[in-house]
Chain A
Amino acid sequence: MTRRHTVGAHYGLRDWLAQRLTALVMAAYTLLLLGVALWNGGIDHSLWTALFGNGAFRLASFVFMVALAWHAWVGMRNIFMDYVKPVAVRLTLQALTIGVLVAYLGWTIQILWGVRP
């Protein structure tokens, strides 16, 4: 038995919920892309570029990547909290994770809305 002191009242419910909601967002996008592929009997270059030429699909892709970044943050943080005990190392890894995820999102924006000559 563990008796917790109920101070702070922040035991990760929000992270837990965000992890699940972002999972549903990503599952929906995955099924959408799978549906497009099955409906058209595969995806070739013209369909692929037409798909990403569509503003709504680009937005959906961006929402997917934001959900992925948030989801990955919760998951990686959970792994670090379980296995990396020294606080300095853990905080460094967590900070690096956030930096990498923000970079992934910047890269995503470049791909989706980058100026192509």
Chain B
Amino acid sequence: MKERPVYLDLPRIRLPLPGFVSFLHRFSGAVMFAFGIPLLLAGVGASLASPESYAALKSAFAHPLAKLVLVGFVWAYLHHFFAGIRHLLLDLHVGADLASARRSSAVAGLLAIALTLVVGARLW
């Protein structure tokens, strides 16, 4: 069996935009797995435990650092969401040619950033 070509030297790879968006898809997923899910569960748990813990959680999010972390996870979710929908469309052979694929990667990435800014503006 022939050796399959593998080139995964991360620091040396010059990614085109679709590759970069795809990398961020993985990155955002891994960050949400490791940190996002436990924080989400802790937050939902506190929000439901008692009216006092709900109020405490709410006042905790008044802190700018907490808002910044929240905005970070909002971006991770939105990027993963839109990049994921793009992958689903590519699976259905929608926009699979090079030009469309480049365009849709820009759309997915920018849409996530734009909506994150909207959420951030509402938080502040």
Contacts and interface: CB of A to CB of B under 8 A. Distances in A.
Contacts of B8: 82-83
B2 A45 contact: no
Q: Is the interface of A mostly helix, strand, loop or mixed?
A: helix
B81 A2 contact: no
Interface stretch (B36-44, B65-73, B96-104): B36-44
Contacts of A24: 88
Contact of B49 (A2, A83, A108, A116): A116
B4 A2 contact: yes
A48 B48 CA distance: 8
Interface string A81-117: 0110000000000000100000010011011000010
A52 interface: yes
Interface string B15-46: 00000000000100110110001100100110
Interface string B69-87: 0000000000001001100
A40 interface: no
A45 B49 CA distance: 11
A107 B2 contact: no
Contact of B29 (A1, A45, A75): A75
Interface string A13-39: 000000010011001001000000000
A84 B117 CA distance: 35
A30 B81 CA distance: 10
B54 interface: yes
Interface of A: 1-5, 20, 23-24, 27, 30, 45, 48-49, 52, 68, 72, 75-76, 78-79, 82-83, 97, 104, 107-108, 110-111, 116
15 contacts: A2-B1, A23-B84, A27-B81, A27-B85, A72-B37, A75-B26, A75-B29, A76-B29, A76-B33, A79-B26, A79-B30, A97-B33, A104-B38, A111-B45, A116-B49
